[in-house]
Amino acid sequence: MEAQEKDELKELRERLMVSPRLVWDHADAATREVIMAYGERYKAFLDRAKTERQAVEEIERQARAQGFVDLTGNAPGARTFYNYRGKTMVLAVAGRRPPSQGLRLIASHIDSPRLDLKQYPVYEDTDLAFLKTHYYGGIKKYQWLARPLALHGVILKADGTRVELAVGEDAGDPVFTVCDLLPHLARKAQMDKKVTEAFEGEKLNILVGSLPLGDKETKERFKLYLLKYLEERYGIQEEDFISAELEAVPAGPARDLGWDRSLVGGYGQDDRSCAFASLEAILETPEPEYTSLALFYDKEEVGSDGNTAAKSCLIEDVVERLLERAGESPQLWRRALMASRAISGDVTGALDPDYPEVHEKRNAARLGYGVAFHKYGGSGGKYSTNDANAEYVAWIRKIFQEHGVVWQAGELGKVDEGGGGTIAKYLAVYGMEILDCGTPLLSMHSPFEVASKADLYMTFRGYQAFFTGA
């Protein structure tokens, strides 16, 4: 082959074929530093926001520090927040155009799989004190055994007193655990069973103490010791657990992963990777063309049901208030949403080299290749999912290209392998254009999820481009 012909083929190949871009190949020394600094802020966010309530508090704290005012109050301001019941949060930045011409929304979720305490959680067995749990979201139950757990949450007493609790994160704190069976005796109880049957929800009981109160004549003296401690420490009685929301989560901070520190390992990255990216993006957005919203929803992991979830009417109220603030009729909320463009910011499973059989490698998101589009999700024949319109996907591609965002497209696993959903379909009912777009993770939904710092940063860059890209 002549040299000229070779060059032509090379040019043709580069022009015609898609080639995935590894973020690190396109990151000079300065960009690498920015990526690493972003990773530090991100880990700090993960540590402060281990529950949806803590995430809302942290988002409000950062928003207030940047001059955001309460959307439901009277204080004037183009930058507003809406803290809904302490579990769902919306940040909004008014655009140059009136809201009725459409909004720019990025919606993520701030709840993560975990073990919730039951209504009557406290009991003793075999001279040990335990708490009963009911798991929340899609967990592989064995991953929650034999590991240190922290307890976070609130207890509301009948008189309205609110008690906040967070135990197990500080070095001096005690931790808790769900015990696992020793391998020596696990043959019939676990090893010979299917994984779905070997680990039972009713055995996810948290060990919390072993000291008795009184003597052998004292009834339930291990439970009694615990209840006495809880009353002295928190002023609560057993009945107060009925109006409590206490969540057991993996104890300890998010960590750099790998000798090169290129990855982050930690709990709750589904979906706080996207939540943090949209938080930083909206905090940094000056007056945009279109009114821009970052929505942080609760209850995604259990199907978005409930008054703090994406299926609620919250967004309608938010848009009515934004219209009023802009001097427009609140009745235009539906028109504003029909004209809106949105990103459903949620994570996806990255290609796992140990389990290539569940992925279709040509259409799997890969760690390090940037923020990932999912045109559709769901399961089976594209059931239960939003399927973004091609026109809209093309528009997002253009915005991302213009802003130098490294991105990839994929779908979650092989056809008929399994599947998963996001909140995109619940927002799509309002008529807005919406695309799933977020960070790829390894070990998704586990107590120690893994993300690439490069992808985390590109998630932020993509969201920033979306808000500022007109």
CB-nearer residue toward Mn ion: 328 or 346: 346
CB-nearer residue toward Mn ion: 137 or 148: 137
Shortest approach of Mn ion to residue 347 CB, angstroms?
Answer: 5
Neighbours of 46 (CB within 10 A): 23
CB-nearer residue toward Mn ion: 114 or 366: 114
Shortest approach of Mn ion to residue 134 CB, angstroms?
Answer: 18
CB–CB of 105/342 below 8 Å? Answer: yes
Shortest approach of Mn ion to residue 344 CB, angstroms?
Answer: 9
Question: Which residues, numbered 309-368, are part of the site for Mn ion (CB under 5 A)?
Answer: 346
Number of chain residues interacting with Mn ion (CB under 5 A): 3
Among the listed residues 270, 433, 436, 449, the single contact to Mn ion using CB under 5 A = 270
Shortest approach of Mn ion to residue 431 CB, angstroms?
Answer: 23
CB-nearer residue toward Mn ion: 247 or 271: 271
- By CB under 5 A, which span of 3-11, 82-90, 271-279, 380-388 interacts with Mn ion? 271-279
Question: Which residues, numbered 207-266, are part of the site for Mn ion (CB under 5 A)?
Answer: none
- By CB under 5 A, which span of 16-24, 217-225, 269-277, 334-342 interacts with Mn ion? 269-277
Shortest approach of Mn ion to residue 259 CB, angstroms?
Answer: 29
Structural tokens at position 106: 């990025």
Shortest approach of Mn ion to residue 109 CB, angstroms?
Answer: 6
CB-nearer residue toward Mn ion: 99 or 410: 410
Shortest approach of Mn ion to residue 295 CB, angstroms?
Answer: 14
CB-nearer residue toward Mn ion: 50 or 221: 50
**Which residues are 420's β-sheet partners?**
378
Shortest approach of Mn ion to residue 441 CB, angstroms?
Answer: 9
Residue 436 touches Mn ion, criterion: CB under 5 A: no
Residue tagged 């809106």 (tokens) = 340
CB-nearest residue to Mn ion: 271
- By CB under 5 A, which span of 56-64, 175-183, 216-224, 270-278 interacts with Mn ion? 270-278
Among 152, 43, 133, 109, smallest CA distance to 311 is for 109
Question: Which residues, numbered 368-387, are part of the site for Mn ion (CB under 5 A)?
Answer: none
Question: Which residues, numbered 31-70, are part of the site for Mn ion (CB under 5 A)?
Answer: none
CB-nearer residue toward Mn ion: 110 or 283: 110
Binding track over 166-195 against Mn ion, x by CB under 5 A: ------------------------------
Among the listed residues 52, 60, 271, 449, the single contact to Mn ion using CB under 5 A = 271
Sheet holding 371-374, edge to edge: 69-70, 79-84, 88-93, 291-297, 103-109, 341-344, 433-438, 371-374, 407-409
CB-nearer residue toward Mn ion: 83 or 439: 439
Burial of residue 327, with CB atoms counted within 10 A of its CB: 0-12 exposed, 13-18 middle, 19 or more buried: exposed
CB-nearer residue toward Mn ion: 300 or 320: 300
Shortest approach of Mn ion to residue 250 CB, angstroms?
Answer: 15
Residue tagged 């290539």 (tokens) = 356
Shortest approach of Mn ion to residue 377 CB, angstroms?
Answer: 10
CB-nearer residue toward Mn ion: 446 or 452: 446
Shortest approach of Mn ion to residue 444 CB, angstroms?
Answer: 7
Q: What is the 3-state secondary structure (H, E, C) of the chain?
A: CCHHHHHHHHHHHHHHCCCCCCHHHHCCHHHHHHHHHHHHHHHHHHHHCCCHHHHHHHHHHHHHHCCCEECCCCCCCCEEEEEECCCEEEEEECCCCCHHHCEEEEEEECCCCEEEEEEEEEEEECCEEEEEEEEECCCCHHHHCCCCEEEEEEEECCCCCEEEEEECCCCCCCCEEECCCCHHHCHHHHHCCCHHHHCCHHHCCEEEECCCCCCCCCCCHHHHHHHHHHHHHHCCCHHHHHHEEEEEEECCCCEEECCCCCEEEECCHHHHHHHHHHHHHHHCCCCCCCEEEEEEECCHHHCCCCCCCCCCCHHHHHHHHHHHHCCCCHHHHHHHHHCCEEEECCCEECCCCCCHHHCCHHHCCCCCCCEEEECCCEECCCECCCCCCHHHHHHHHHHHHHCCCCEEECCCCCCCCCEECCCHHHHHCCCCEEEEEECEEECCCCCCEEEEHHHHHHHHHHHHHHHHCC
Structural tokens at position 366: 């890969």
Shortest approach of Mn ion to residue 243 CB, angstroms?
Answer: 27
CB-nearer residue toward Mn ion: 124 or 270: 270
CB-nearer residue toward Mn ion: 60 or 271: 271
* Interacting residue ranges for Mn ion, rule: CB under 5 A: 270-271, 346
